[in-house]
A and B are shown apart, each in its own frame.
Chain A
Amino acid sequence: MTAAVMAPEAAAVEVVDLETTSLRELNQRLHDLSRTPGPRAWRIVNANGAHAVVCGLDAEVEVEIEGHVGYYCAGMNKRAQVRVHGNASTGVAENMMSGLVVVDGNVSQSAGASGHGGMLVVRGDASARCGISMKGVDIVVGGSVGHMSAFMAQTGALVVCGDAGEALGDSIYEARLYVRGRVTSLGADCVEKELREEHVAQLRSLLEAAGVDAEPSDFRRYGSARQLYNFRVDNAGAY
């Protein structure tokens, strides 16, 4: 892990047990930090697959979560650094705006969906539709991603150190996709592109920020062929 994710000082950590504290109370206390001062380091224990854990944060805090989390963990995240020591279910960090979300395990479908900014790091695998409709978030996946990843991706970067499933980047706009392993198939209007120096530099900085040890030149780049931007009468028969 790089300096981007720091282990909070043990003495100053606010510990919340979700077996004894309601999720609503936890999230409200975290939301209050956008207006009023409070603890900057948090540790959540016994998440047990609960939904919407630490959703909607808007404060410079560090949150560590022990255990697997359910749907939409760290959704809409702004500024906060969230780390899940486990797996995350559907829609982790969906629509995140800024900050950093790190998942040590695997994540289910639609990870980082429609994210506007910040960085999502998945150490394990992500399943289907990772980065669907991403709008500026950077996503780094240590393992592989499932089918339809980066579907309608608009901007930002998706870095996959393993393989990508079927229809990668279907109907993609301007996002950059980097895959080290095998791509089962490319989606409509997604093509392989040259990996130029600027892309190697971008990859290096993304991998470093994510704390992933990989050689940028081992990746291939994919992006939009820009054939679906406008309606073409030649395609009318396809509808």
Chain B
Amino acid sequence: MCGIVGLFAKSAEVEERLGVHLAAMLGQMNDRGPDSAGVAVYRDPVPSGSSKLTLYSADRREDWRALALDLTSAYGGASEPRVRASHAVLVVETNAVEAEAWVRSNRPHLRVMSAGSMIEIYKETGLPRDFVAEFSLADLRGTHALGHTRMATESRVTTEGSHPFSTGFDLCLVHNGSLSNHNRLRLNLRREGIEFQTENDTEVAAGYLAWRMREGASLEEALNGCLEDLDGFYTFAVGTKDGFAVLRDPIACKPAVLAETDEWVAMGSEWRAISVLPGASEARMWEPQPGVVYVWEKELVA
């Protein structure tokens, strides 16, 4: 099953309460995905030349401050780590490629959940309702966000196997469905130098998008490539720095509904995820067509 939610703020009021709305939407999708939950929130852009990392440690006593100090001595002026449960967000005064490489070689036990200038990814096993509370999602202000609740089918229930999956800097993917050609595709993508951390099918889709865009495809072109190269069922939502995109496979077994008001654009696996938003009953609402890429970006919506 699995549940997907997405919210794009069109007003300062909704940006201010993005986390509150996201938490409510995720709570509504609790029973579609009781195994794990996760969100990607786009917020607080870092100054140019700096980058933002979201890191995960399996050890709840992880010394995040020591990490920040080490990063400061490497690159100067790293921020105070902002810790949320098993995750921490750090702003580093170097580019994302460099910062991520530093973490991989100096703290190999940490997982880089996201890297970029705005994105923060938090994900954990357990009931979505518990996740919402544990990670204090309601605190998060931001411009847009995606969320996912997982009912696992293709691989183990772990933090790493939870969604969203990072697909590159400031990019992420959430998925409802299952892919049937992910093993072969993973082999092919590994040959292209794409790294995988799990046996998860969605991670392969994320890797596919990352590879296509590395080779010069736009997000829209990469998503259209999915229609050719991925076999299986999917409703995808992709988060970008400026907005989000939605794609359903041509058979469209997996649900999706979109809604829009003057204040927000929202996406959900079901209406009940959207019904908790202010003014939802007056929203324009429609079902995305199978095999069609939908994109919202700040400049398109504003």
- Whether B255 lies near A89 (C-beta < 8 A) is yes
B282 to chain A, nearest CB (A): 12
Binds A, one of B89-97, B163-171, B283-291: B283-291
B266 to chain A, nearest CB (A): 12
A8 to chain B, nearest CB (A): 22
For A128, give its contact among B252, B271, B281 (CB under 8 Å): B252
- Answer whether A89 and B252 are a contact pair too, CB < 8 Å, given A49-B275, A127-B287: no
B92 to chain A, nearest CB (A): 42
- Which chain B residues lie closer than 8 Å to A106 at the CB level? 285-287
- Answer whether A49 and B252 are a contact pair too, CB < 8 Å, given A68-B285, A106-B286, A128-B290: no
- Which chain A residues lie closer than 8 Å to B273 at the CB level? 49
A67 CB–B CB distance under 8 Å: yes
- Whether B290 lies near A108 (C-beta < 8 A) is no
Once the chains are docked, how many angstroms separate the CA of A50 from the CA of B290?
Answer: 24
- Which chain B residues lie closer than 8 Å to A109 at the CB level? 252, 255
A87 CB–B CB distance under 8 Å: yes
- Answer whether A50 and B272 are a contact pair too, CB < 8 Å, given A67-B281, A89-B255: yes
In the complex, 26 of the A-B residue pairs with CB atoms within 8 angstroms, ordered by the A residue number, are A49-B271, A49-B274, A49-B275, A50-B272, A67-B281, A68-B271, A68-B275, A68-B285, A70-B271, A71-B270, A87-B271, A87-B285, A89-B255, A89-B257, A90-B255, A106-B285, A106-B286, A106-B287, A108-B257, A108-B287, A109-B252, A127-B287, A128-B252, A128-B290, A147-B252, A147-B290
B258 to chain A, nearest CB (A): 12
A18 to chain B, nearest CB (A): 11
B297 to chain A, nearest CB (A): 26
Chain A residues in the interface with B (C-beta under 8 A): 48-50, 67-68, 70-71, 87, 89-90, 106, 108-109, 127-128, 146-147
Give the interface size bracket for B toward A: 10 to 19
- Whether A70 lies near B272 (C-beta < 8 A) is yes
The total of interchain contacts (Cβ-Cβ below 8 angstroms) comes to: 42
Chain B residues in the interface with A (C-beta under 8 A): 252, 255, 257, 270-275, 281, 285-287, 290
- Which chain A residues lie closer than 8 Å to B275 at the CB level? 48-49, 67-68
Once the chains are docked, how many angstroms separate the CA of A87 from the CA of B281?
Answer: 11
Does more than half of chain A's interface fall in helix, strand or loop, or is it mixed? Answer: loop
Once the chains are docked, how many angstroms separate the CA of A71 from the CA of B31?
Answer: 14
- Whether B255 lies near A108 (C-beta < 8 A) is yes
Once the chains are docked, how many angstroms separate the CA of A128 from the CA of B271?
Answer: 17
B267 to chain A, nearest CB (A): 14
Once the chains are docked, how many angstroms separate the CA of A71 from the CA of B269?
Answer: 11
- Which chain B residues lie closer than 8 Å to A70 at the CB level? 270-272
- Whether B270 lies near A49 (C-beta < 8 A) is yes
Q: A68-B275, A71-B270, A89-B257 are in contact. List 6 more A-B contacts (CB 8 A).
A: A49-B272, A70-B270, A90-B255, A109-B255, A127-B287, A146-B290
Nearest to A128 among chain B residues (CB) is B252
B251 to chain A, nearest CB (A): 8
Nearest to B275 among chain A residues (CB) is A48
B133 to chain A, nearest CB (A): 22
B285 to chain A, nearest CB (A): 6
Once the chains are docked, how many angstroms separate the CA of A67 from the CA of B273?
Answer: 14
Once the chains are docked, how many angstroms separate the CA of A70 from the CA of B273?
Answer: 11
- B257, B271, B281: which has the most chain A beta carbons within 10 Å? B271
- Which chain A residues lie closer than 8 Å to B285 at the CB level? 68, 87, 106
9 closest Cβ pairs, A-B complex: A49-B272, A49-B271, A48-B275, A68-B271, A49-B275, A127-B287, A128-B252, A49-B270, A70-B272
